[in-house]
């Protein structure tokens, strides 16, 4: 049976790639290269593979675009995943033999706010192309963020919640949670938080030479983060960032 590896390659630093991930990538006959607008990310993936002597055949897959302006967010994501499944299924079927090993490279950790596993599950559920899936964990952006700021994600006896920028903007900080990690925030939802005493630990391009870090009381550094983020996006055409919001201990 075909085997598909979903390999976490870290937040951007080639040194984030674990020994387990390197061994998995070297087992692969084919690397499925997902191509999106940010071509710099494609180059970085190739550099990571080259740094670890991964010599598999590269099969490019042009990723469908998602309608980011749709009113029905969940519906738009579902439709986008269906189209991704269509093109991925075709690539797997036409380029990977019945006993071949293919690999998808996932930024950070493939089990944390990444849809690679879900899309592969959809393909397998269709029943037209058979394969087994193996997931190799990676260093997530949250690991990289807290490490670079020199803090732990949690505090003694305190809960941690991971949410999205969209939910933060719509619902605010969740009650009773001292530490909130925010992923997928393209609109600086932290600017909607007015609760006093909140700190922010923000990072962009984590693990890369262009890494950006800002931390401090949210009320004091929010405008700086917005400015720095906008400048970085203008300069590079894309930005990947995440942050931790930390309430004061009562």
Helical segments of the chain, H only: 19-27, 39-51, 73-95, 116-126, 141-149, 165-171, 218-236
Per-residue pLDDT 10s for the chain (250 aa) are 899 999 999 998 999 999 999 999 999 999 999 987 667 888 888 899 999 999 899 999 999 988 877 888 889 989 999 999 999 999 999 999 999 999 999 999 999 999 999 999 999 999 999 999 999 999 999 999 999 999 999 999 889 999 999 999 999 999 999 999 999 999 999 999 999 999 999 999 999 999 999 999 999 999 999 999 999 999 998 999 999 999 997 6
pTM of the model as a whole: 0.92
User: CB 126: neighbour CB atoms within 10 A?
Assistant: 10
Report CA dihedral (86, 96, 43, 163) to the nearest 10 degrees: 50
Q: What are phi and psi of 49, to 5 degrees?
A: -65, -40
Range of the domain at 241: 141-246
Count of structural domains within the chain: 2
Domain boundary among 72, 101, 136: 136
Residue 40: which CATH number? 3.40.1010.10
Torsion 74-138-128-91 (CA) sign: positive
Q: Are residues 61 and 86 in the same domain?
A: yes
Q: Which residue is it, tokens 């719509």?
A: 170
């Amino acid at each position: 049976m075909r085997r598909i590896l979903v390999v976490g390659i870290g937040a951007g630093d080639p040194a984030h790639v674990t020994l387990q991930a390197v061994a998995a990538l070297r087992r692969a006959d084919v690397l499925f290269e997902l191509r999106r607008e940010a071509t710099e990310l494609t180059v970085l993936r190739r550099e990571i593979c080259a740094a670890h002597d991964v010599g598999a055949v590269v099969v490019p897959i042009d990723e469908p675009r998602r309608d980011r302006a749709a009113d029905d967010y969940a519906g738009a994501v579902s439709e986008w995943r269906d189209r991704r499944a269509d093109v991925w299924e075709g690539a797997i079927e036409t380029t990977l033999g019945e006993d071949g090993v293919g690999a998808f490279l996932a930024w950070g950790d493939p089990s944390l706010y990444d849809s690679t596993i879900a899309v592969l599950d959809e393909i397998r559920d269709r029943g037209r192309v058979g394969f087994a899936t193996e997931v190799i964990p990676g260093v997530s952006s949250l690991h990289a963020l807290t490490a670079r700021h020199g803090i732990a994600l949690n505090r003694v006896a305190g809960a941690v919640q991971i949410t999205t920028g969209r939910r933060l903007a719509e619902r605010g900080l969740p009650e009773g949670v001292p530490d909130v990690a925010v992923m997928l925030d393209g609109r600086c939802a932290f600017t909607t938080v007015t609760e006093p005493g909140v700190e922010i630990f923000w990072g962009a391009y984590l693990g890369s030479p262009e890494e950006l870090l800002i931390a401090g009381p949210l009320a004091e550094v929010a405008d700086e983060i917005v400015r720095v983020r906008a400048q970085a996006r203008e300069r590079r055409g894309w930005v990947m960032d995440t942050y931790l919001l930390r309430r004061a201990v009562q």
